[in-house]
Chains A and B, each alone.
Chain A
Amino acid sequence: MAIAEQKLTSTAPTTSESFQWRSWLATVDHKKIGIIYIISAFVFFIIGGIEAMLMRVQLGTPNNTFLSADLYNQLFTMHATTMVFLVVMPMNVGIGNYVVPLMIGARDMAFPRLNAFSVWLFLGGGFLLYLSFLTGGATNVGWFAYAPLTQTQFSPGQGVDYWILGLGLTGVASIAGALNFIVTVLNMRAPGMTINRMPLFVWMNLVVSFILIFAFPTFTVASIQLLFDRQFGAAFFNPALGGDAVLWQHLFWFFGHPEVYILILPVMGMISEVLPVYSRKPIFGYSFVAFSGVGIGFLGFIVWAHHMFGTGMGPLANGFFAAASMVIAIPTGVKIFNWIATMWGGDVRLTTAMLYAIGFISMFIIGGISGITLASPPIDLQQTDSYYVVAHFHYVLFGGSILGLFAGAFYWFPKMTGRMLNEMLGKVQFWLMLISMNVTFFPMHFLGTEGMPRRIYTYESGMGWEMWNFIETIGTFFLAFSVLLFIYNVLVSLRSGEVASNDPWDAATLEWVVPSPPPSYNFLHIPQVTSRRPLWDAKYPHSTADDHHGEKSAPSQIRYEYSHEDSPGAKEIHMPTLTYMPMVLSSGLTVAALGFIYINQAILGLPMRVASYVFIAIGFVMVFYAIRGWVLDSRRDSPYLGHH
């Protein structure tokens, strides 16, 4: 492998006009945007983890006074909000952003500026959510925010308003991002890459993007209704004024359940990339894996009320939602069986990424099985709102999403940075994390069946809950240590890790054709795709003979690219210019949102009200300035080299 040759490649700016920080703040490169997402999500992962550890310390012993009730309530609300909206979602989006255009042989996303707008707006939303800790307390009503506890008479501070507007911004960012993914995947695939040849990670990103644009608006509208309840005395969810408290639950979970699949499907896509590569085989049952993902996406929309079996919907409605929820076990089972079959007969290489992928399957089996028990309304009525549910979704979201994301991290880190992560450290981290996550989360099953309710900041002694709670708390410290090991691994590997070639894993998809890290334009020559595994088939031309789809593909002409930015071909590539406007636009919306939080807080008096109008005005000036600049900047687009 021509590692020396590959080292010539560099993404460092090539003109004096762009120095380092500008190349990040004004970037429209999907790879840099992906990395901003990934780093931000990882920082939020640390913050959410610290919140979790504070809660575990409080619960480690009965009658503990380490945290006050109110602070505990803020922490569990923000822990969930952070992990769902600021960690797993943006981490998926970040990796998708980086990898999807490369996988489909494209030079960028379809709308690079919109992509930059999304990442900055997501950060604006995260900023607002965390600002609330400094302005009188974060939201303390749970991430599900059940009405009417969210009404001002029960939650008088601004925490809930920060939550609504913070998530409102991340919601807009997510919808814009999802539209971008859909257009990119549908329009920008390399010639020959039919839908039926797309890598499964691309498939899952496409499915999730559709779920997102159907699910997220429901939540955005409901939360704006809630904002109207709080700020202007509307009564959508306030029974005291004739509103309906259960309506909020329907709207929230109509978004909230598909959200679960938004969190897990991209990770399932990653697993479907990682397993074949380290088994040195194609994925088993490509169409079944792809369409079971589509099936889960559809079914995800008709199961929302299984979160509400206890609300008195009646046995008929409960029966319907129970049956629909159980049906999801079928496509999920199909995926698991296909993953196992992918390894069957393979040459399984237990790299760190592979260990994480196998760990994902193993833990997801546990989370899936406990999910079946919860889909049964009678059983659910005992286990819901108890620690059993906490165990269930941590197996799905930690054992599933987080372990899967680590698989993706170890798999794509060489591509993103040009350096390999340390395998030895990675394996130690894997086993430590796997064991400590089970120590932390498995006893929650016992606590739930032993009657420990969720969301309690303290419990009395003598309930028989002491031992498991203490063990769980110990587990979190080991879990935290395993995350620290990963950080150490990243920092060391970035400096002195083994240099990565184009294709260090002997992989099959197009991102491994280009140098690690890829040049800003990705591909010097857009590849001509003739099969599902374009790179593999180029390397092993005789291995696809038994393709049971009967696709008699022409021999693949794909070659590794070792180009660097000064090569004559690169000068001809048209790429969008750097622009600050997406960031200014996002910042303007964030400033305006901050103003809206205080627009009708009579209790705070006139000065606060005036300040809120000033913020809104400044925000909108920034928005209009940015839109104007955006349009003008677009007209300056020109060939790649002059404007990077």
Chain B
Amino acid sequence: MRKDARQKVMLAMVMAGITMVLAGCANLPATTMYTYGDHATRILDLLMVVFWMAVAVFVVVQGALVYTVVRFRNKQETTALPKQIHGNTKIEIAWTIAPAIVVLIIAVLTFRTQAANSVMPPEAIKIRSIAHQWWFEFQYFNQDGVSLSTPIVVDEQNQPTITTATDLYVPVGVPITIQLDAADVMHNFWIPKIAGKTYMIPGKSNYLTFTVQEPGIYKAFCAEFCGEAHAQMHFRLIALPQAEYDSWKVNVAKIPASAAGTVQVLGLTGDAARGAALFADAKKQCASCHVIAGTDAKGKIGPNLTYLGSRTALGGAILPYSVDNLAKWLQDSSAIKQGNLMGRVIKKGTLTDQEVADLTAYLDSMKLSVALPAEK
């Protein structure tokens, strides 16, 4: 009977252990254990070596602790005093050297990985990312005028050819260097399956170089606490085969065709042309914060909305893109993302449902045809 119970407990523990291992190894959306970028892969390779060394150390030291306690615990009240040993210098030296050797090995491996991950190849494509409270902006430049070792200076001569947000498009198989900047507070650029984190610091440019090994859409986050909506500051890395990336780059730089068409949303028919007029209406304030290429909307506070209809996500990559989600965002963005700056101006009820539908139709009408890869 007791043996049965013990077996059941053992079985439960084994099952729990297997669950833990499986959960640790599953290819989850943001895991660092399945990597598709060289930067993250080199880190994972290093981690696995260190992990097994850590397991060995854990087993030896924890084992010694448990063995000592079990072996020398007082089983019955004895009166004999144990031998009063004060120490042993040889043993002390031995166990000073042992951890020193372990950390020396880890240090050497660390420096090798660090060196490999610090290289910025001159042929790398350079893209600038600017973090804002609470969204990511991406700027692409004419690569001829861009040097890797100095910050990109945006002035009248050197304007970005493409400015976008939330979706970061890159080609696979070639090194990419991201210049990381911040517009307001500190942020942190993290694509778990592709590369480790790098801070985005106002007043200081940082650089991160990686190569994406497989086409895919990858989850990415701001990893440094940056204020009220930090939890909802995400972006997506969209890695395309070179040819598709090239055609995306050409198409996205074009001015969107004039707004036309309708969508059905909120039980209403939204009209793109009416939406375009609303967007341009100074009273609605859209244009004071947002840019749409080819229109008078030149506000720099919020994300550039050109080709919003082709984004895969909204609101700092917290909602998947759909006309319904876009309408919800326009109705009451604060309910979706507490603290977001647009919600302080465009509150619930600021726009009528018809206006929301029209704006949705307009923004949705700006679309590119991109063959999106699968989410990794």
A382→B196 contact, CB < 8 A = yes
A379→B72 contact, CB < 8 A = no
From known contacts A446-B20, A450-B31, infer whether A381 and B74 are also in contact, taking CB-CB under 8 Å.
no
A362→B65 contact, CB < 8 A = yes
Residue from A70, A239, A385, A451 with most neighbouring chain B CB atoms (10 Å): A451
Query: For residue A540, which residues in chain B have a CB less than 8 angstroms away from its CB?
Result: 81
* Alpha-carbon distance between A283 and B85 when the two chains are bound, in angstroms: 8
A379→B54 contact, CB < 8 A = no
- Is A610 on the interface with B (CB-CB < 8 A)? no
A464→B28 contact, CB < 8 A = yes
* Alpha-carbon distance between A378 and B113 when the two chains are bound, in angstroms: 7
Query: For residue A141, which residues in chain B have a CB less than 8 angstroms away from its CB?
Result: 225, 227
- Is B124 on the interface with A (CB-CB < 8 A)? no
Query: For residue A358, which residues in chain B have a CB less than 8 angstroms away from its CB?
Result: 65, 69
Which single member of A239, A334, A457, A463 contacts B95 (CB below 8 Å)? A334
Which single member of A146, A147, A288, A340 contacts B87 (CB below 8 Å)? A288
Q: In chain A, residues 440-457, which have Cβ atoms closer than 8 Å to a Cβ of chain B?
A: 446, 449-457
* Alpha-carbon distance between A338 and B61 when the two chains are bound, in angstroms: 12
- Is B148 on the interface with A (CB-CB < 8 A)? no
- Is B203 on the interface with A (CB-CB < 8 A)? yes
Which of the 9-residue segments A170-178, A200-208, A544-552, A564-572 touches chain B?
A544-552
Query: For residue A315, which residues in chain B have a CB less than 8 angstroms away from its CB?
Result: 114-115, 118
Could you tell me the distance in whole angstroms from the C-beta of A342 to the nearest C-beta in chain B? 9
Residue of B nearest to A154 (CB): B185
- Is A484 on the interface with B (CB-CB < 8 A)? no
Could you tell me the distance in whole angstroms from the C-beta of B47 to the nearest C-beta in chain A? 5
* Alpha-carbon distance between A333 and B97 when the two chains are bound, in angstroms: 10
Query: For residue A346, which residues in chain B have a CB less than 8 angstroms away from its CB?
Result: 72, 82
- Is B207 on the interface with A (CB-CB < 8 A)? yes
- Per-position binary interface string of chain B over residues 185-205, scored 1 when its CB falls under 8 Å from any chain A CB and 0 otherwise: 110101010011111011110
A449→B24 contact, CB < 8 A = yes
* Alpha-carbon distance between A239 and B182 when the two chains are bound, in angstroms: 11
Could you tell me the distance in whole angstroms from the C-beta of A540 to the nearest C-beta in chain B? 6
* Alpha-carbon distance between A255 and B57 when the two chains are bound, in angstroms: 30
* Alpha-carbon distance between A160 and B107 when the two chains are bound, in angstroms: 39
Query: For residue A318, which residues in chain B have a CB less than 8 angstroms away from its CB?
Result: 114
Query: For residue A197, which residues in chain B have a CB less than 8 angstroms away from its CB?
Result: none
- Per-position binary interface string of chain A over residues 130-155, scored 1 when its CB falls under 8 Å from any chain B CB and 0 otherwise: 00000000001110001111000010
Query: For residue B28, which residues in chain A have a CB less than 8 angstroms away from its CB?
Result: 450-451, 463-465
Residue of A nearest to B47 (CB): A379
A281→B202 contact, CB < 8 A = no
B203→A245 contact, CB < 8 A = yes
Which single member of A148, A322, A463 contacts B30 (CB below 8 Å)? A463
B46→A378 contact, CB < 8 A = yes
What does DSSP make chain B's interface, helix, strand, loop or mixed? mixed
B81→A543 contact, CB < 8 A = yes
Which of the 9-residue segments B98-106, B136-144, B257-265 touches chain A?
B98-106
Number of interface residues of A (CB under 8 A): 103
Q: In chain B, residues 177-226, which have Cβ atoms closer than 8 Å to a Cβ of chain A?
A: 184-186, 188, 190, 192, 195-199, 201-204, 206-207, 219, 221-226
B106→A372 contact, CB < 8 A = yes
Could you tell me the distance in whole angstroms from the C-beta of A455 to the nearest C-beta in chain B? 4
Query: For residue B51, which residues in chain A have a CB less than 8 angstroms away from its CB?
Result: 373
Q: In chain B, residues 114-148, which have Cβ atoms closer than 8 Å to a Cβ of chain A?
A: 114-115, 117-118, 133
A245→B201 contact, CB < 8 A = yes
- Per-position binary interface string of chain A over residues 80-103, scored 1 when its CB falls under 8 Å from any chain B CB and 0 otherwise: 000000000000000000000000
Residue of B nearest to A314 (CB): B118
Measured as residues with beta carbon below 8 angstroms from the partner, the interface class of chain B is: 35 or more
Could you tell me the distance in whole angstroms from the C-beta of A315 to the nearest C-beta in chain B? 5
- Is B1 on the interface with A (CB-CB < 8 A)? no
* Alpha-carbon distance between A312 and B103 when the two chains are bound, in angstroms: 24
Which single member of A280, A311, A337, A382 contacts B192 (CB below 8 Å)? A382
B31→A449 contact, CB < 8 A = yes
* Alpha-carbon distance between A453 and B339 when the two chains are bound, in angstroms: 19
B198→A334 contact, CB < 8 A = no
Could you tell me the distance in whole angstroms from the C-beta of B146 to the nearest C-beta in chain A? 19
* Alpha-carbon distance between A262 and B301 when the two chains are bound, in angstroms: 44
Which single member of A349, A362, A451, A458 contacts B29 (CB below 8 Å)? A451
A378→B86 contact, CB < 8 A = no
Which of the 9-residue segments B160-168, B228-236, B270-278, B361-369 touches chain A?
B228-236
Which of the 9-residue segments A30-38, A324-332, A399-407, A595-603 touches chain B?
A324-332
Residue of A nearest to B78 (CB): A347
A365→B224 contact, CB < 8 A = no
Which single member of B106, B184, B203 contacts A376 (CB below 8 Å)? B106
Query: For residue A366, which residues in chain B have a CB less than 8 angstroms away from its CB?
Result: 58
From known contacts A330-B96, A372-B50, infer whether A450 and B30 are also in contact, taking CB-CB under 8 Å.
yes
Which single member of A336, A376, A468 contacts B50 (CB below 8 Å)? A376
* Alpha-carbon distance between A365 and B59 when the two chains are bound, in angstroms: 10
B50→A312 contact, CB < 8 A = no
Query: For residue B172, which residues in chain A have a CB less than 8 angstroms away from its CB?
Result: none
A330→B87 contact, CB < 8 A = no
From known contacts A319-B111, A329-B99, A376-B50, infer whether A449 and B84 are also in contact, taking CB-CB under 8 Å.
no
Which single member of A312, A365, A446, A451 contacts B199 (CB below 8 Å)? A312
* 13 interchain pairs, CB-CB under 8 A: A68-B338, A69-B229, A70-B338, A333-B98, A345-B82, A370-B54, A378-B117, A379-B47, A379-B110, A381-B195, A456-B230, A458-B231, A464-B31
User: Which 7 pairs, one residue from A and one from B, show the smallest C-beta to C-beta distance?
Assistant: A381-B196, A451-B30, A239-B203, A464-B28, A456-B231, A333-B99, A312-B206
Contacts A244-B203, A334-B95 known; list 14 others, CB within 8 Å. Answer: A73-B227, A148-B184, A279-B82, A284-B87, A330-B96, A345-B82, A350-B69, A365-B61, A376-B109, A382-B43, A450-B30, A463-B28, A464-B26, A464-B28
